[in-house]
Amino acid sequence: MIDGRSVAVTAELPGRVSASLVSEVRPQVGGIIQTRLFKEGSEVKQGDPLYQIDPASYKASYDSAIAAQQKAEAAVPSAQAKVDRYQGLAKGSAVSKQDLDDAEAALAQAIADVASAKAEVDTARINLDYTTIRAPIGGRVDASSLTPGALVTASQDTALTTVRTLDPINVDVTQSSTNLLRFREAVKTGRLKFRGPDVAVKLHLENGSTYGQNGALQFAEANVDETTGTFTVRASFPNPDRLLLPGMYVRAVIEEGVAPNSVLVTQQAVGRNTKGEATVKVVGADSKIEERVIVVGRQIGNSWLVDQGLKAGDKVVVEGGQNVRAGQEVTAAEVSVDDATGDIRDAAHKD
């Protein structure tokens, strides 16, 4: 006997694993690579040193900038004293107004020279710091594309290595626009209650196993690919053991919502007529067989979710249907069907 119940509606979608953050490491100053400071394939933290460029010329530029700043600063007190002296003499007309203006201009120039020298020091210090190439993000570092002794240039096209953040990690799955329209129509008509964005996402891996951590939806693209008619949905998963790696193929199971008062019928009870329509055989109130056309939606375990044609309380033939025909009077025994396995058992043993 069919009973109505609330059913969790899920969608199983193909997807690919991708790193949550990816950063290609390139030098910001030129020079000779002295040392590689990381183990290829290891985990690094943001800011960890990865390479050391020969700093000699940059250290010399920094020292020169420091000396230039000191020289500029040394000129300020003399210029200030001259202005102070001329201001006192100008009150008694001992110096001309032009001489005072020239002294004040010289002071302003000396102060500006100090500011310029400080900026040069900052630039030289930054370039010296850039000789140590550091990890821009935390994650797993790839193999190095260059060895010590190689010449590199600022912002070159070839990346020295790549760092990928693997925990958390992303899974990008594709959903058809047709299914999206069906989902929205089901929510609109009340056949499906949307659980909102905070739903759990499960993963089936390539070897058939289920990933041990649940993920969370992050976003869905706002456009549909014109070629495939699909759009991308992204979920984020914790990946502390680094079991998931970028490029892996997976299947994500997303719980879209709950269908209240739903009718499920086991797949083995459903046949097809000459028109290709789904049909079931139902035992009527007069104990006679009736063949009924139904409309099925998605698969739930080993059952079909029935959209039309059956209601709670209907008695569907699940075993021996090929031996009876419409209008035939039968004596039916009630059984139960395990949704997960499809096993049939006597109703008296129903859990």
More confident residue, 189 or 41: 41
- How far apart, in whole angstroms, are the C-alpha atoms of residue 73 and residue 113? 8
Q: Using alpha carbons only, what angle is made at residue 271 by residues 6 and 265, rounded to the nearest 5 degrees?
A: 15
Lowest mean pLDDT across 177-181, 192-196, 320-324 = 192-196
- The string of pLDDT tens digits covering residues 129-154 is 999 999 999 999 999 999 999 999 99
Kindly give, in sequence order, each residue whose CB lies less than 8 Å from that of residue 59, ignoring residues fewer than 6 positions away: 128
Q: Using alpha carbons only, what angle is made at residue 28 by residues 25 and 29, rounded to the nearest 5 degrees?
A: 130
Beta bridge partners of 219: 234
Q: For position 28, what pLDDT does the model report?
A: 94
What is the pTM assigned to this prediction?
0.70
**Using a CB cutoff of 8 Å and minimum separation of 24, what contacts does 340-346 make?**
340/301, 340/302, 341/302, 342/266, 342/267, 342/268, 342/302, 344/318, 344/319
Look up residue 140 and give its two tokens. 């797993």
- How far apart, in whole angstroms, are the C-alpha atoms of residue 190 and residue 181? 14
CA nearest to 266, candidates 192, 179, 332, 335? 335
Beta bridge partners of 200: 216
Lowest mean pLDDT across 98-107, 133-142, 160-169, 322-331 = 322-331
Q: How many helices (H) and strands (E) does the chain have?
A: 3, 20
Contact 330, 278 (CB under 8 A): no
Beta bridge partners of 289: 283
- The string of pLDDT tens digits covering residues 93-112 is 788 888 888 899 999 999 99
Structural domains of the chain sorted by starting position, each given as residue range(s) with its CATH number in brackets: 8-19+165-259 (2.40.30.170), 27-53+132-158 (2.40.50.100), 55-130 (1.10.287), 261-349 (2.40.420.20)
Beta bridge partners of 120: none
More confident residue, 116 or 297: 116
